[in-house]
Amino acid sequence: MSDHEYTPKSKFGKWFNDRLPLLTLASHLTDYPTPKNLNYWWTFGGILTFCLLTQIITGLVLAMHYIAHADMAFDSVEHIMRDVNYGWLIRYIHANGASMFFLAVYIHIFRSLFYGSYKSPREVIWIIGIIIYLLMMAAAFLGYVLPWGQMSFWGATVITNLFSAIPLVGEGIVTWLWGGYSVDNPTLTRFFTLHYLIPFLILGLVVLHIWALHVPGNNNPVGIDIQKPSKDTVPFHPYIVIKDGFALLMFMIVFAFFVFYTPNILGHADNYIEANPLVTPAHIVPEWYLLPFYAILRSVPDKLLGVIAMLSAILILAALPWLDTSKIRSAVFRPLYRQFYWILVADVLILGYVGAMPAEGLYLLIARVATAYYFIHFLVILPILGFKEKTLPVPLSITEPVLGGSPNLAGARIKNKKNL
């Protein structure tokens, strides 16, 4: 984005920078022009980076004490909780950190949906984001298996069994994934290996995500391009750094409350029972952040189609920049889209709720309707809306709504003050 030339002051700095322009990069990052009208929904990118690093650092410490063996995994987790210095703290941060990570990523994704951040020219940022989200789900699932409790074991069994839906080779693939004929020690050791690997893949993708962001620059609540960088933007440092820091601290207060006062509320009690292949828990449920997709999976009567529906529910997001035909980015100026947006939010929440309930009777019916609506939103409503919707007049520049008094904006302002 910023093409300005940077010359280090010191001689050594110049010598080094000519060979590896790290200082130019640092200068770019500090000066990076950021729209000055970003609201707090934009702070979740920074929060997510914090979450990732927290998971990696606590995970490293846990891995020093954890034993990936079917006979010892559960014991080693208890060893961490009891005898490792502050092991309980590290483990509770890591376990609750996963939930916090997903809480933040869902806000981040829905922010993007509201303000149309996935639209041209930011499609690549968006698609990298979807890949990160997929990897996060994989990492979370694999990590949940490691304590080798009942939910770990049976969750692993249910999820890996999904691959058996693949025609002809399905059973073979499942055996290959397990490294045997059931979820057992070989499964645990490979899950541990992959759980250790994936966060670093995510870290690499996060770098690409941010790099891709720095090419067109941030979207913003008004959803229009920057007209005059000098008027519409502020340098990343100190303006955005302090604001992100403030939001991060508030997030950390919530995080700390979970870790210190209700560390087990987001987990399932059954996972404190050591894995037992002979006893199936009454209800096998995934962690809360996977429930909407679990509901979609179960709402389809056919196993293979269910798996396809679940995967498409995520992958459809990657096609979103082309499914949404509207030229206007921000929902602030799209009165109809805004309503459909909130219906989608409600739809996903409903899916999450029925995902936690037994798949029968009314719950199943609700799950089916909600699943159908989810796909209709992306495949029917969004493409048509772009052509049919009468959008509100968009301001001429970012500065305009900030200063107020734009004739162009008067209509939109009254209704949408809070979204700007």
Partner 1 sequence: MKNFFKIIILSLIIMCGYKSAYSAEKVEYLKTHWSFKGLFGKFDRASLQRGYQVYTEVCSSCHSMKYLSYRNLAEDGGPEFSIDQAKAIAASFEVKDGPNSDGDMFTRPGKLSDKFVMPYDNVKAAQAANGGAYPPDMSVLVKARGGGVDYIYSLLQGYEEPPAGMKLDDGVYYNKYMYGNKIKMSNQLSDGLVEYGDGTTATVEQMSKDVTTFLMWAAEPHLESRHRMGFKAIIYLIILTVLVYFSMKKIWSGIETKI
Q: What sign for the dihedral angle of Cα 358, 364, 366, 372?
A: positive
- The Cα–Cα gap between 280 and 276 comes to 8
| Minimum distance, C-beta of residue 213 to partner 1, in the bound complex (Å) | 20
How many CB atoms lie under 10 A from the CB of residue 249?
9
Rounded to 10 degrees, what is the CA torsion of 321, 327, 332, 335? -100
**Residues in 6-45 at the binding interface with partner 1, rule: CB under 8 A:** 36-37, 39-41
Nearer to partner 1, 212 or 285 (CB): 285
Q: Which of 211, 260, 322, 342 binds partner 1 (CB under 8 A)?
A: 260
- The Cα–Cα gap between 112 and 331 comes to 10
H or E element, residue 33: strand 33-35
Q: CB of 136 within 8 A of CB of 100?
A: no
Q: Which of 59, 306, 352, 395 binds partner 1 (CB under 8 A)?
A: 352
Residue 103 within binding range of partner 1, rule CB under 8 A: yes
Give Rg (Cα) of the chain: 24
| Minimum distance, C-beta of residue 207 to partner 1, in the bound complex (Å) | 26
Q: Which of 56, 162, 173, 273 binds partner 1 (CB under 8 A)?
A: 273
Q: CB of 164 within 8 A of CB of 171?
A: yes
- The Cα–Cα gap between 95 and 97 comes to 5
Q: Which of 361, 403, 405, 407 binds partner 1 (CB under 8 A)?
A: 403
| Minimum distance, C-beta of residue 163 to partner 1, in the bound complex (Å) | 26
Q: Which of 131, 162, 203, 252 binds partner 1 (CB under 8 A)?
A: 252
What token pair was written down for 222?
């008004």
Nearer to partner 1, 106 or 340 (CB): 106
Residues that bind partner 1 (CB under 8 A): 36-37, 39-41, 75, 78, 81-82, 88-89, 92, 99, 103, 106-107, 234, 238-239, 242-243, 245-247, 249-254, 256-257, 259-261, 263-266, 268-270, 272-273, 282-283, 285, 288, 291, 349, 352-353, 356-358, 402-403, 418
